[in-house]
Structure 1
Amino acid sequence: MITANIITLNEEKNIAECIASVAKVCDQIIIVDSGSNDATVNIAQSLGATVVHQAYLGDGFQKNVALDYASNDWVLSIDADERLSEEMVEEIKKIDLNQSQYDAYAFRRKNMIGSRWMKECGWYPDFCVRLYHKKRARFADVKQHASIKSENICKVKADIIHYSFSHIGQLFCKPGRDFSGRAAKIMYLKEKKINSYSPFIHGLSAFLKKYLLQKGFLAGVDGLTVSISAGLSGYLKYARLLELKQDASVLKKENFNKIW
């Protein structure tokens, strides 16, 4: 059988549908909550999930917490704003996990803006490893952009649906998430070297990659907006890193024990 692994923070709008989605293939559901002050925990417990309380450690570290509580060897990791497509459910049910020669399985991620499927800008097929054997694979212990690395992964042609953003405005300011500040603090702790040109160079590079190389221009306003957002994000995280290195008063106010 399979254990679902879901990390949460104030996901009362998403958690019920997420649990209902993974319950189609999982017999155990573990929620690792990092201090929700809404109804997330109560909803999860009412639906039979086991809730583990853990202050946020960073992406990879947080996603590995559930492994100590998982009663199954196979774990399905999913975010609260993601859902299993019916196709994905059927493909998972077809797999004989007891006899599997693979360490993990990757699925295409179908990223959405509102109800619109974003295919360009590198957003699809965006294969992500989500089903893995906990004794043979796990998320890298890093604080951002964690993924499962293995030489023995099977790519499954089925989609996990990611309701990334409710509308295009969230591309620039998603509630509760300071992505540029998070990235800047992590880079600062890693002693990342930059200069005064770094924000401009990285911002422009990110925009051009999304809009030209990954064909964002084919997606109309959505493609342009995603590309601008990527450019702005690239610019801001390096601008904020530069600020941390150059302004002692700003640096003093930052709490590096809290990434978010």
Structure 2
Amino acid sequence: MTPIATSDVHAALNRAAEQLLVAAGPDGIVSRKDIRAKLLSLEGTERELVDMLYRFIDRRDTARSARVTKADINAALAFIRTELVDRFDLDNNGLSEDEVARMSDLGKRAVALARTLKAATEPTGEALAQKIGELAKGLFFDGYYGTEGGVRIQPFHAAAKLSRLTPEGLRAALGLTDRPEHEIVRFEPADPSLQGVIKAHWDMPEYEQAEELVRFMKAHLREVHAAILGRDDPELGAEHPLYIVGIDSTGNLVGLKTGVVWT
């Protein structure tokens, strides 16, 4: 998966804290009875995080007679953000899967809710492809995979329910056959080809546009791969389709379609 920003995890924690404050009612104190009632109105990842956050705060000072106040919540949030979230973002570019794996259960639950909330609001499928198309307008692919000519870049989207991107999954999503022109001759992580898109425009006005396209794709897609179709056979023509695609938050295949020219 793509890294999750620490700010998104903070937002998830803030949302859980707001649920505790709502549960407190007019007296501003969250009792165990209050939290039990609140949890009945929640579900899924949010319910799990609110429950875990309350238990974390409640355990911090058993002398408070199982009552949690706004001051307790704010103090706990400050500690959690610093010690259980930010401290694990070692390179300050978002929490990677390896970094999340080292977090506490509370931190991991906050990450899970952050991803759920982000998936509910970010574009997916055709809408995501449309945004990618806007960023890719006027760009071309050249200078990588030995291509001998620039090929226009177009947005691509195929409805799917993929959990991982494999050659087999790509074949099914694209509806490929066993014909030679559909043979997947290259399948590999897309970062070199994406960097190729940027480098192809390095001395052009579109350079920053290409950089923004790559940033956007990395932020909204996971397991982004490059795949070239078609054997290097003169009978199949010189241009071979190149897909630079990944999986969106709902499992669709989204990205770019372009080509390489081998003469």
Relative to the length of structure 1, the TM-score reads 0.29
Instruction: Please state which structure has a larger fraction of its residues in helix.
Output: 2
Please identify which structure carries the higher strand content: 1
Give 1 or 2 for the bigger CA radius of gyration.
2
TM-score, structure 2 normalization: 0.29
Highest RCO, 1 vs 2 (Cα 8 Å, sep ≥ 6):
2
